[in-house]
Structure 1
Amino acid sequence: MDRPKSLAVLVAERLREAIVSTELQLGQALSEEQIAATMNVSRTPVREALTMLQLQGLIDIKPQRGSFVFKPDAEDIAALVAYRHILEMAAAPLALSVAPEATLRDLAASVAMMEAARAEDHPLDFARADSLFHQAFFTHCGNRYLSEAYGIASGRLAALRAHLAAPLTMHRSRAHADHLDMIEAFRAVDRKRLLAVLGRHILAMTDNYVGALKETGSVR
């Protein structure tokens, strides 16, 4: 029987969703008192939740200044993309070898969600589908250490997709095409093509995210 979640975990989950859904903006200051009042809890679980999210890289806690939603600079983005590239280029071929049918099923379901989101012009739904697509490689790769390593950065990646990439119509079009190419390569068991498309897709995120930050005036 699963234990009920603690208040701190529930608060952390709610704040994480607020960040990933763009309800909270990158760099936004957070008030412990306001969060506690909104969620009808004391400040203790709020502090614990903020510490949890700090470990996930979603919150910056600055002494004497307070807590803020993370806001990356160009160097942060480049490092995060490089980290993701290393992990996903290892996970994807493993998923192709270990669980091709289950992986393909999840990839196809994610692309169907993307197409529905594009048709209805729902950028956040597109971003969620994008995250689910790439998560499938780690879910089915058969290596829990790779999955855990990706989990360290998955929240930040999901937030960047939602805040910086998904709102751009051109990005959604290119991303959709890339994901279709990856599915075709996966279905054909074409490891070389899969890695070529996946690698290009991931590395393009550095310029895409930094460019989006510059357009919003948020780049540091």
Structure 2
Amino acid sequence: MSFYFRQRSMIQRAKSLTSQVFDTLLDDIVSGRRRSGTMLSENALAQEFGTSKTPVREAFVQLQSFGLVEVMPQRGCLVFQPTAAEVSSLCEVRHILECAAVDLAMQRAPDLLLLELRSRFERMTTDAEQKQRSDFSHDDDAFHQAFFTHAGNPSLQEAHRLFAPRLQALRTNLQSMHGHLLCEAQEDHAEMIGLLDVGDIESTKAIIGIHIERMSQKYETESEFLWTAR
């Protein structure tokens, strides 16, 4: 094998390892397995994944671009631990994007949207009954993602993807502490489906606002406990 192809193979393998580490850490953070406020060590993760520190370091940089970690020189990186003001800002952006997505989805694919929302709602009901909070969080995320999927606007989807991992991680951490939040979320989801079924988009957007604001308020009042509850 020529020097060029050996070098190319090494680069591709390095990219593959970085992608594997990134994908695993991303899933761990948004699912709550690596909770907000956790310090991640390059050395420990390199041993865990059986790699050198380079793919771990590169994965940290990618995670930081999504706002999911803060790289701290000589220490590793901290899984994002936002202030109440930062959460409020994220929630404002989420509200703006999600309302825009609802408008477009109801214009372009209302039947497909409602079909997927009902399917996700049924799954979340089962998840809640079986106390499967991780599955509930996944299906909750998919419920709201449906607005963007059926909006038919790739640029809007791209904008949402920049914020979605942080929002999902916040939701997972809060729901892991409060079982009653699952019930409240389901009540909101049922109301959204009912309103969209009769074409009341404006009232749906009002419920979305209440739904999102609840997360912001809960974080503001209980974030201190969130970091100490391990």
Give the TM-score, by structure 1 length: 0.92
Deviations 1:19-39 (A, max 9, x none): 122221211111111111111
Q: Say which of 160, 164, 167 aligns to 1:157.
A: 167
| Whole-angstrom distance in 1 between the partners of 2:222 and 2:134 | 16
Which of 136, 141, 145 aligns to 1:126? It is 136
Structure 2 CA distance for aligned equivalents of residues 217 and 59 of structure 1: 15
Cα distance change, pair 34–63 in 1 and its aligned pair in 2 (3 A): closer
1:61 aligns with 2:71: yes
2:3 corresponding residue in structure 1: none
Q: 1:191 to 1:131 in 2, by over 3 A?
A: same
Q: What is the DSSP-based 3-state SS (H/G/I as helix, E as strand, rest coil) of the residue aligned with 1:141? A: coil
Quote the offset at 1:121 in angstroms.
Answer: 1.0
Q: Aligned residue for 1:46? A: 56
**Distance in 1 between the 2:31 and 2:139 partners?**
13
% identical equivalent positions: 38
- Aligned-partner Cα distance in 2 for 1:102–1:45: 40
8 Å CA contact retained: 1:166, 1:172: no
| Higher radius of gyration, 1 or 2 | 2
**What residue identity is the alignment partner of 2:88?**
A
SS in 2 for 1:6: helix
Residue 167 of structure 2 is aligned to residue 167 of structure 1: no
Equivalent residue in structure 1 for 2:110, among 89, 92, 100: 100
SS of the residue corresponding to residue 177 of structure 2 reads: coil
Q: 1:172-200 CA distances to partner (integer Å, 9 max, x unpaired)?
A: 11110000000111121211221121122
Provide Cα deviations, 1:65-120, integer angstroms capped at 9, x if missing partner: 43111111111111110111111111111111111122112211211111011110
Partner of 2:21: 11
Q: Residue 83 of structure 1: SS of its match in structure 2?
A: helix
Please tell me the root mean square deviation across aligned C-alpha atoms, in Å.
1.8
Is contact 2:31–2:137 with CA below 8 Å preserved after alignment?
no
Q: Aligned equivalents of 2:227 and 2:149: distance in 1?
A: 36
Give the Cα–Cα distance (whole angstroms) in 1 for the partners of residues 188 and 176 of structure 2: 14
SS of 2:71's partner is strand
| Cα displacement (A) at 1:132 | 0.6
State the alpha-carbon separation in 1 of the partners of residues 112 and 56 from structure 2.
38
| Alpha-carbon distance between aligned partners in 1 of 2:178 and 2:102, rounded to the nearest angstrom | 26
State whether residues 165 and 212 of structure 1, in contact with CA within 8 Å, keep that contact through their aligned partners in structure 2: no
TM-score normalized by the length of structure 2: 0.88
Q: Determine if the alignment matches structure 1 residue 209 to structure 2 residue 219.
A: yes
Runs of 4 or more consecutive aligned structure 1 residues displaced over 6 Å after TM superposition = none
Contact 2:43-2:53 within 8 A present in 1 as well: yes
Counterpart of 1:37 (choices 47, 53, 59) is: 47
5+ long unaligned stretches in structure 1 = none
Q: CA deviation at 1:217?
A: 5.4
Cα drift, residue 214 of structure 1: 3.3
Secondary structure of the corresponding residue to residue 152 of structure 2 = coil
Mapped to 2, the partners of 1:117 and 1:90 lie a distance apart of: 28
SS class of match (1:161): helix
